Amino acid sequence: MIPNYFIIDFDSTFISKESLDELASYSLRKSETKNIILNKIHTLTNDGMNGKITFYDSINTRLKLINATKNDVLVVSNNLKSYVTHSFKRNKNFIKKYSNRIYIISGGFKEMLVPVLADFGIQESNIFGNEFIYDGDKIIGFNTNNPLAKIDGKSQIVESLKLDGEIHCIGDGYNDFQLKLLPSVSKFIAFTENVYRYEVCNVADKVISSLDEYIDFLND
């Protein structure tokens, strides 16, 4: 049975990469210390996704290690289209059919999400992400007043939407699982096609390795 609404994560779920990590890789492409910095960033990403550090600290520390510009964001946003998760590509028609029921709520940055999701018919009004702060062309920080800058930000966004009916949340991270704690969320589906996080899968209502598997589950 098709739920009334889908709440879907972006990084490592809708796409196979972490968008901020991809921005880091691109912006540091000429740096002699690129590999050292990227290793630090990957560790911070995983620690945030596994709940080992606060989501705010994960974003804040990673951004301080990145020297990115508006043009870098534009280039990476376009590049991310080639990293859409395979099973999401295969089921593009399903996503388009139910696009008005789909909300993308991500700890990633909205500026990089919108171009990718537009190809799947998902309206910008249904996309929620963090926001860069610029000084001229350079990224100097992010909007800390945005709920998604905090670990419980996804929960705050879902509550503010006041959605009625059955809601399924699909994601790979600890902050996705936290949505299961909301009375309005019916099921938390751990998505493992790109990354398997034991801490997340251990508390999920269902674990799926692809969007195909989820669609089969809905049709049972």
Strand bridging mode 127-130 / 187-191: unpaired
Q: Report pLDDT digits (tens) over 133-154.
A: 999 999 999 999 999 998 789 9
Among 153, 178, 179, CA closest to 168: 179
Q: Report pLDDT digits (tens) over 80-110.
A: 999 999 999 999 999 999 999 999 999 999 9
Q: If DSSP codes are grouped into helix, strand and coil, which group holds residue 129?
A: strand
pLDDT-based confidence at 46, cuts 50/70/90? Answer: confident
Model pTM score: 0.93
Judge whether 24 and 66 are in contact, CB under 8 Å. yes
Q: CA-CA distance, 107 to 114, in Å (whole number)?
A: 13
Taking phi over 0 as left and psi of -120 to 50 as alpha, with beta for the rest, 12 belongs to left
**Domain annotation for the chain: domains and CATH numbers:** 5-219 (3.40.50.1000)
DSSP state of 15: B
pLDDT at 97: 98
